[in-house]
Structure 1
Amino acid sequence: MTAPDPPAIAKQRSNILRKVLVTGVIGALGFGLTELVLPNGPWSWLSSVFLGSVAFVTQFLVDVERRLDSVERTYQKESSATRSLIHSDFSKINEAAKLSREMDGSGLPIDDIVRLIRSATHITPIVPQLVLDLARTEIARVSAILEDLARGGDVSYEGEDRDWLISLTRLAHHSIDAVSLDTVDVGTEHFLSSHIGRLYLTEQARSVRRGVRVRRVHVLNPLDPNPQALDQVTREQEQLGIEVRVLPPERRPRSTKALVDFIVFDGTLSYETTPASEQTEATPVIVDTRLVPDEQRVARRRQMFADLWDAAIPLGKAPLG
């Protein structure tokens, strides 16, 4: 049991004392006034008791009314707070139920979605502000990617990507069809000789061992031929089980004048890079990287690859310089 609050006890005693004093004063006034009118009679005592009783009851009723008003205000306040809390809780429950239904209808594994949510809840407010900002930024980035993929829109990354390419190569189920421009993939410091390029090559070899068909068309650059580098790259790819063909300029189909460096994974997703229009350094500069899930555009990429593949020359039969 909670002990009474000392200030509350003191206030209660003060109120009782006040009521007694007021009752006594009014009773005394009634006695005095009656004595002036009817001296030495019983009416003085009766009027004193009556007026004192009326004063006491009046104070009691006023006090009761004040308490009732206070209780009513408190009730209204608590009732409003309770309604707001219930409304908020029901809204959260409805949102959670809606989210649960959407999770059930998602193509992603529920365990992965739950893992992401649970991991986010582990970021507590006591961590450094920089960590919170980084976590929010990453959540926003992943959310934006998922939203773009869900509606079939392009997903763009400014500069050269280092994650999507490796992940898609590891996840491919049956085919990887790539078109490589010499301006990007072959040169003194070409992409395939970089760290990410070597890792990409390793993952392609693993994909081949998993039964994934990996094909690559190297589009020769007539303005800057580099037969030694191209021969080294293509021979290494062939040894790893990658099907390689070379496309000389004179065999390029007329329908493929404007070419970009792209890779079609499983015939359903196109990975495309855009090099800078002017290359002032030995290492090619990638302006942006895009993931294209749109079915019609991917179908055009598949057809473009098929045309280039048919026009290209198998390795060993193609002049490299």
Structure 2
Amino acid sequence: MADRNPTGNRTPTKILISLAFFCITFIATWLFEVLGTQPMVLIGFGSSLFVAGVAFVVQFLYDVEKRLDKMEEELERHSRVNEARIDEGFKKINAATKLFGLVEASALKTDAITQLVGNSVRIKPNPQLVFDLAQTEIQRLSEMLKTLGDSGDLTYDGEDRDWLLGLTKHVNHSLDAISTTLDVGGQDYFDGSLWQSDLGQRYLEAQRDAVRRNVRVRRIFILDRPELREDANFRRVVGMHDDIQIDVRALDPTLFPRQFIPPIFDFIIFDGSVSYQTSPSAPVTEPSRATIASTQLITNPSKVQRNIDRFNDLWKIATPII
């Protein structure tokens, strides 16, 4: 309170200063009376009182001026702060308006984007582990969308299932796949590996739904051994595909023309615009058994077209399985 009302605390000082002026003036008039011949008591008292009043008023006006100057400085400071806050608020509004405009202009579903933002702000910083996980997933999704928007390639370390099932679920026209018969995952390819796994069963079911949507599904099995064509496990996998009306062909390695280099990894082309492919990696201790080292999602048109041409060339020389 002392800082807010300095004038009030100085009132006794003003009174003392005014009394001092009163005394000085009164003594001066008394000396004039002593030295002079005319009585000046009343005049001296009045003059002293007048001078004291003037001194008090002058001090009061001085303090008022100081307070006004201080108020002016405070108002100017508050004005600058408020102006900065208003500018910042308008910048946020402009950014939000621009962002909302981009959302409205996006080909993606607007409600899905707004739901993402709305659900993101619900994440609290406690517990910290959940908060950090959400932050990482948002960053990962942001980078993924940027890469897709730039027609870049996405790489996932290991075997991904979300891309595979998601693309199969939303494919509209065609699904062309090449499946190599490497020993992936430490088991015989046709007996306990992909097609007998949970992922394989879900993948087949998603392809069944795609066929029901009139999607053309074709698959080429590239056999690493010619005798696999008559293998009972291979025949069972082919039967799984026949049951859901997938057009299947097989290609023996001995039938590759000299101009063809057989692919050493699986790839799937969705709607002629996206290529999903995996890269195998054989452990040093067991080079005959391969694992999935990485999964790539290719959206670059020229790279996708190369896979389309590769599939079409191999489809011509592959033979139906009788």
- TM-score, normalised via structure 1 length: 0.88
For residue 283 of structure 1, report the CA deviation from its aligned partner.
6.9
Identify which range, 108-117 or 144-153, moves more after superposition. 108-117
Residue in 2 that maps onto 1:265: 270
Distance 1:282 1:188, change over 3 A: farther
For residue 48 of structure 1, report the CA deviation from its aligned partner.
1.5
Identify which range, 219-228 or 40-49, moves more after superposition. 219-228
Q: Judge conservation of contact 1:188–1:282 (CA < 8 Å) in 2.
A: no
1:293 aligns to 2:299 (yes or no): yes
Residue in 1 that maps onto 2:207: 204
Residue in 1 that maps onto 2:63: 63
Alignment of 1:2-17 (within 5 A): 14-17=9-12
Q: Judge conservation of contact 1:217–1:245 (CA < 8 Å) in 2.
A: yes
For residue 26 of structure 1, report the CA deviation from its aligned partner.
2.5
Q: Name the CA distance, whole Å, in 1 between partners of 2:178 and 2:143.
A: 28
Identify which range, 36-45 or 262-271, moves more after superposition. 36-45
Say which SS state the counterpart of residue 183 (structure 1) adopts: coil
Q: Any idea what the Cα deviations from partners look like across 1:103-152, whole Å, max 9, x if unmatched?
A: 22211111111111111122234x31111111111100100110000000
Q: Name the CA distance, whole Å, in 2 between partners of 1:224 and 1:159.
A: 30
1:78 aligns to 2:78 (yes or no): yes
Q: Name the CA distance, whole Å, in 2 between partners of 1:57 and 1:33.
A: 21
Say which SS state the counterpart of residue 111 (structure 1) adopts: helix
Q: 2:316 aligns with which of 282, 287, 310?
A: 310
For residue 33 of structure 1, report the CA deviation from its aligned partner.
3.8
Task: Compute the RMSD of aligned alpha carbons.
Answer: 2.5
Q: Judge conservation of contact 1:188–1:283 (CA < 8 Å) in 2.
A: no
For residue 184 of structure 1, report the CA deviation from its aligned partner.
5.7
Counterpart of 1:128 in structure 2: which amino acid?
P
Q: Judge conservation of contact 1:189–1:283 (CA < 8 Å) in 2.
A: no
Q: Any idea what the Cα deviations from partners look like across 1:4-29, whole Å, max 9, x if unmatched?
A: x8x79997654434433332233123
> How many pairs does the alignment contain?
310
Residue in 2 that maps onto 1:191: 194
Q: Judge conservation of contact 1:222–1:249 (CA < 8 Å) in 2.
A: yes
Distance 1:260 1:151, change over 3 A: same
Distance 1:224 1:87, change over 3 A: farther
% of aligned pairs identical? 36
For residue 189 of structure 1, report the CA deviation from its aligned partner.
3.9
Distance 1:137 1:224, change over 3 A: farther
Counterpart of 1:286 in structure 2: which amino acid?
I
Identify which range, 258-267 or 49-58, moves more after superposition. 49-58
Q: Any idea what the Cα deviations from partners look like across 1:169-208, whole Å, max 9, x if unmatched?
A: 1101111110001116625542222211111111111211
